[in-house]
Structure 1
Amino acid sequence: MLHVNSRIFLSILLLLVSISIKGAKGIVGVNYGMVADNLPTPGLVARFLQESTIISHVRIFDTDPDSLKAFANTGIAISVTIPNDQISSLTDLEFAQNWLLTNILPHLPDSNIIRILVGNEVLSTANKLMITNLVPAMDIIHTALVNESLDKQIKVTTPHSLGLLVTSSPPSAGKFRQGYDNHVIEPLLNFLRATDSPFLINPYPFLGCSNETLDYALFRPNSQVVDELTNLTYTNMLDAQLDAVYSALKLIGFADIDIVIAETGWPSKGDQGQVGLDVESAAEYNKKLMQHVTSMAGTPLMPDRTFETYIFGLFNENLKPGPVNERNFGLFHPNFTPVYDIGILRPKIAASAASKHGDNTKYFFMLMLLCLTFVLADANCN
């Protein structure tokens, strides 16, 4: 009779369980902007996200009390934002404690606030005072959270634009702009490491996209790009952008810090002459984005990873200034009908998941059962 080492099968079983758990870590959230005069109330929005979508994480661009109350008891994880013009005031501990008392504490524990984002793309502004005050403000806010025993529950960080990089091509040559690395970036990254907080980046492959690079930006089959320094092949622009950020972090010794995609998306409408800014392209990008960032495919330099990702945005915002595309990032119309379907609505997701993954799930559990059978048989033999 063949005797099987139960330890081997137990190891296989634990590996399979580990893989299953890792695969579930992919988070797709949404940016909920409100620069519009035609949007539903925060209460209706929170109920819609909770009951009708698979969205479990949301970012708002302030600390609007109506929104924080609306998301109470929904379980949806919330990232709040301190606007750029408030950063300098928050370098004073007493002010920061009062800010926390007014804007955050009244909503806990009912509202699941997980992050405070200090500003947005601050380092890409020309405001030297704001840039200088960014890390001190983050540190003071963290201290205020420590004083309330909330520092483990709520993390402090700040999102960045890709303009933070002076070099992004090839991806392995990614490098932060001169002057940022020593005076701002390194203190910021030291803070993130010390507080176990992620580095947030806002990559938008549609920016600067041309007819030649449209397929590459939209995850379509394309001629691909080879990094001549590593010989690694890139099949899409997002991976190249994320790896450029990773390379810049690694260059100054911070490769261990987690990367979160705070904003990315694709407009469904743009100015005349802009390439690929239409409903079909927006649907294609965001649907493939969801599949990619949760697939554990990772990137060439960060394989086997999922990325917490926030799509921009929930609604079109008709009062936003700037070019046409700024007002056309929305996934949904104000009446909650989709601008296009990317699989966020619950019934379609459930049906799709059952059809696509049913067989894989069945075989997975069959294999687990087989492993357990061998373990028990071996134990009986001994």
Structure 2
Amino acid sequence: MLFMFFLGLLLSIGLEFIAAQSPEPGICYGVNGNNLPSKKETIDIFKSNGITKIRIYFPDAEALEALRGSNIELTVDVAKESLQAISSDPNAAKGWVNTNIVPYSQDVRFKYITVGNEIHPGDVEAQYILSGMQNIHDALASSNLGQIKVSTSIDLSLLGNSYPPSDGAFSEAATAYMQQIVNFLVPNGSPLLANIYPYFAYASDQVNIPLEYALFTQQGNNAVGYQNLFDAMLDSTYAALEKIGANNLQIVVSESGWPSSGGVGASIQNGGAYYQNLINHVKSGTGTPKRPNQPIETYLFAMWDENLKPGAETERHFGLLHADKSRKYELHFHGN
């Protein structure tokens, strides 16, 4: 009865998590709230509605148990509090893998392990990223789980220049940091994960960035020929990678979203337009001007509004659903 209740609930709220085409977007599952449905309830919603990819921000045992046999591809982060230990001690990294990955590996489809989320070169955790990735990679290999790719997730504040997109480059402070990261990723065949938020770019520069351009609804009204800000931001990151020798490195968009409240341009109308247009764009398979016809693996942020998320008020309003499971948007995941 519980299963049927949640299935009926999602059908009634207008979120059509039906993916008949590929590539389809995944969904980030954050749990920074005190009023959220249980992990099992949430995973049941994902499973019953055909979601094929999710990202979680630490290896939660209840969520992992619920994912058994689901065939959902999973990205799981190493919690920030664990970075120092897994970086400084290969045995700690092996213990992390043996505790959080190995027991579930037969029936949970681990795709990526993310060592660090939005770590900046000046952060104390920056010193742990490279050796942490290497130690987790080695621990996976020793457990015959080398098919799981290890990476890290950056934000675009690491770019020193982003416009025009062809001139994208990492800042002087970030270049050496990113060079180490790509020197690990490239030979191991791992993508770089990047959190790309046109909302924050728009909110910080409304003079030069039209709202319509950020929402995918402005057609070609700019000097560099880009149809939307998402593609421009993604391609500027590709250009920055090329400048440090990572010409063929793939980027996975590990977060992208738009808040429904709490700041300039944050509304139900704009959030709905952004998510639906991003879904349509990803599903179209057209890629970006720099990488035409290349699939853009993308994760929408996020499943729920998170009332305990720190930071600006907008941070608590990125959910596709309200915490009480009521609908926020009429979204269709089956293409245009």
Task: Look up the SS of the partner of 2:139 in the other structure.
Answer: helix
How far 1:226 sits from its partner (Å)? Answer: 2.1
How far 1:170 sits from its partner (Å)? Answer: 0.7
What does 1:297-336 correspond to in 2, within 5 Å? 297-336=286-325
The equivalent residue for 1:270 is 262
The equivalent residue for 1:82 is 78
What does 1:238-277 correspond to in 2, within 5 Å? 238-271=230-263, 274=264, 276-277=265-266
Match of 1:150 among 128, 145, 153: 145
Match of 2:115 among 113, 118, 125: 118
Aligned mates of 2:198, 2:237 — CA distance in 1: 14
What does 1:218-257 correspond to in 2, within 5 Å? 218-222=215-219, 224-227=221-224, 233-257=225-249
Q: Tell me which amino acid in the other structure corresponds to 2:71.
A: G
Match of 2:57 among 58, 61, 65: 61
The equivalent residue for 1:200 is 193
How far 1:179 sits from its partner (Å)? Answer: 3.9
Given that 1:80 and 1:115 are in contact with CA atoms closer than 8 Å, whether structure 2 keeps it comes out as yes
How far 1:222 sits from its partner (Å)? Answer: 4.7
Q: Does 1:105 align with 2:105?
A: no
How far 1:65 sits from its partner (Å)? Answer: 0.5
The equivalent residue for 1:341 is 330
The equivalent residue for 1:133 is 128
How far 1:325 sits from its partner (Å)? Answer: 0.7
Aligned mates of 2:251, 2:131 — CA distance in 1: 21
Aligned mates of 1:302, 1:226 — CA distance in 2: 19
Q: Tell me which amino acid in the other structure corresponds to 2:104.
A: H
How far 1:337 sits from its partner (Å)? Answer: 3.3
How far 1:101 sits from its partner (Å)? Answer: 1.1
Q: Mind listing any 5+ residue stretches in structure 1 that lack a counterpart?
A: 1-22, 228-232, 357-382
The equivalent residue for 1:296 is 285
Aligned mates of 1:343, 1:27 — CA distance in 2: 11
How far 1:188 sits from its partner (Å)? Answer: 1.1
Q: Tell me which amino acid in the other structure corresponds to 1:36.
A: G
Q: Does 1:174 align with 2:174?
A: no
Task: Look up the SS of the partner of 1:234 in the other structure.
Answer: coil
What does 1:207-218 correspond to in 2, within 5 Å? 207-209=200-202, 210=206, 213-218=210-215
Given that 2:306 and 2:323 are in contact with CA atoms closer than 8 Å, whether structure 1 keeps it comes out as no
How far 1:40 sits from its partner (Å)? Answer: 1.1
Given that 2:102 and 2:143 are in contact with CA atoms closer than 8 Å, whether structure 1 keeps it comes out as no
Q: Deviations over 1:238-264 (max 9, x none)?
A: 111011001111112212011110000
User: Which stretches of structure 1, 4 residues or longer, exceed 4 Å deviation after superposition?
Assistant: none
What does 1:5-84 correspond to in 2, within 5 Å? 24-52=21-49, 54-84=50-80
Q: Mind listing any 5+ residue stretches in structure 2 that lack a counterpart?
A: 1-19
Which structure has the highest helix share of the two?
Answer: 1
Aligned mates of 2:82, 2:221 — CA distance in 1: 43
Aligned mates of 2:77, 2:254 — CA distance in 1: 12
Aligned mates of 2:57, 2:27 — CA distance in 1: 12
Match of 1:93 among 90, 95, 111: 90
Aligned mates of 1:49, 1:335 — CA distance in 2: 16
How far 1:297 sits from its partner (Å)? Answer: 1.6
Given that 2:287 and 2:293 are in contact with CA atoms closer than 8 Å, whether structure 1 keeps it comes out as yes
CA RMSD of aligned residues (A): 1.7
Q: Could you tell me the TM-score, scaled by structure 2's length? A: 0.89
Aligned mates of 1:291, 1:260 — CA distance in 2: 17
Aligned mates of 1:82, 1:299 — CA distance in 2: 30
Aligned mates of 2:25, 2:201 — CA distance in 1: 25
- Report % sequence identity: 34
Task: Look up the SS of the partner of 1:206 in the other structure.
Answer: helix
Aligned mates of 1:330, 1:204 — CA distance in 2: 14
From the superposition, tell whether residues 194 and 208 of structure 1 become closer, same or farther in structure 2 (CA, over 3 Å). closer
How far 1:335 sits from its partner (Å)? Answer: 4.2
Q: Deviations over 1:247-304 (max 9, x none)?
A: 1111122120111100000001013xx1x21001000000000111221221111111
Given that 2:252 and 2:296 are in contact with CA atoms closer than 8 Å, whether structure 1 keeps it comes out as yes
Q: Max radius of gyration: which structure?
A: 1
The equivalent residue for 2:11 is none
The equivalent residue for 1:189 is 182
Task: Look up the SS of the partner of 1:221 in the other structure.
Answer: coil
Aligned mates of 1:325, 1:222 — CA distance in 2: 27
Aligned mates of 1:41, 1:282 — CA distance in 2: 25
Aligned mates of 2:331, 2:77 — CA distance in 1: 27
How far 1:159 sits from its partner (Å)? Answer: 0.6
Given that 1:164 and 1:176 are in contact with CA atoms closer than 8 Å, whether structure 2 keeps it comes out as yes
Given that 2:220 and 2:226 are in contact with CA atoms closer than 8 Å, whether structure 1 keeps it comes out as no
Q: Which moved more, 1:276-285 or 1:206-215?
A: 206-215
Task: Look up the SS of the partner of 1:263 in the other structure.
Answer: strand
Task: Look up the SS of the partner of 1:30 in the other structure.
Answer: strand
How far 1:219 sits from its partner (Å)? Answer: 0.6
Given that 1:331 and 1:339 are in contact with CA atoms closer than 8 Å, whether structure 2 keeps it comes out as yes
Q: Tell me which amino acid in the other structure corresponds to 2:326.
A: T
How far 1:208 sits from its partner (Å)? Answer: 3.8
Aligned mates of 2:173, 2:311 — CA distance in 1: 29
Q: When the two structures are aligned, how many residues end up with a matched partner?
A: 312
Aligned mates of 1:206, 1:222 — CA distance in 2: 18
